[in-house]
Amino acid sequence: MPTALILGSSGTLGSAIAAELHARGYTLGLHYNSRKEPCETLLQRAPDAALFQANFNDPAAAAQLAAAVTQRFQRLDALVWACGIVKDSPLVSQPESGLREVVITNLRGFFLVLKAFSRLFIKQKSGSVLALSSHAALAGRAGGTAYAMAHSGLISLVKSAAREWGPLGVRVNAVLPPFVAGSGMGRAASPEFIESAKHKRVLKTECDAPASFAKFATGVLENPLISGQILSADSRIA
């Protein structure tokens, strides 16, 4: 039975991906930082799953998490990065502390996770990594420079890791989710941003966005032909 670790599985999109992977027969590792309850809800549906807590503001957390996951599963077939925070502010008034916090969580955290799990993936000569990035990484974001900067760096990191690990059979990709107003980040967005995101979609039809995105993301995660790619599940055009 394949194993998957979903980092940020307490979030709306991370939880949806975890549910889809469970439906496809994966044994799950469910990561959370402070919100344990959504993971416990997933655990009721997947009783063989394991819970892992880690705060990636701590630079030692990724290595400690990798050690715990390796001890529990011995191998890892899929790793999903669905962590992130938003602290939007106009460029002219963006405090350095806010910039630092966004970059530490959204970019440095992912870098340290890749580094921590690299030995396991290289030893296996297999595995698939999928990072959830953002439309802002390609289009920029007025009032959200720190977030756009961090995700632009994440995309470069995905491509670099894919180049390094591709010859070993390890795939690394990123996907751009649609804007989901009901997600944690969506609820933090301003009404003006929500309206702007809706207006920019060329598709106006409504659907269960988290579930549809989870199917798309899992398809990318499992596709043996794809690595180093940035794939959009959005109808906003950058």
DSSP the chain: --EEEEETTTSHHHHHHHHHHHHTT-EEEEEESS--HHHHHHHHH-TT-EEEE--TTSTTHHHHHHHHHHHHHS--SEEEE-------B-GGG--HHHHHHHHIIIIIHHHHHHHHHHHHHHHHT-EEEEEE--THHHH--TTBHHHHHHHHHHHHHHHHHHHHHGGGTEEEEEEEPPP-TTSHHHHHS-HHHHHHHHHH-S------HHHHHHHHHHHHHH-TT--S-EEE--S---
Q: List the catalytic residue out of 26, 73, 147, 165.
A: 147
pLDDT at 185 over 70: no
**Average pLDDT of the residues in 187-191:** 64
pLDDT at 199: 65
Domain spans of the chain, in order of start: 3-232
Q: What is the CATH number of domain 3-232?
A: 3.40.50.720
32 is catalytic: no
pTM of the shown model: 0.91
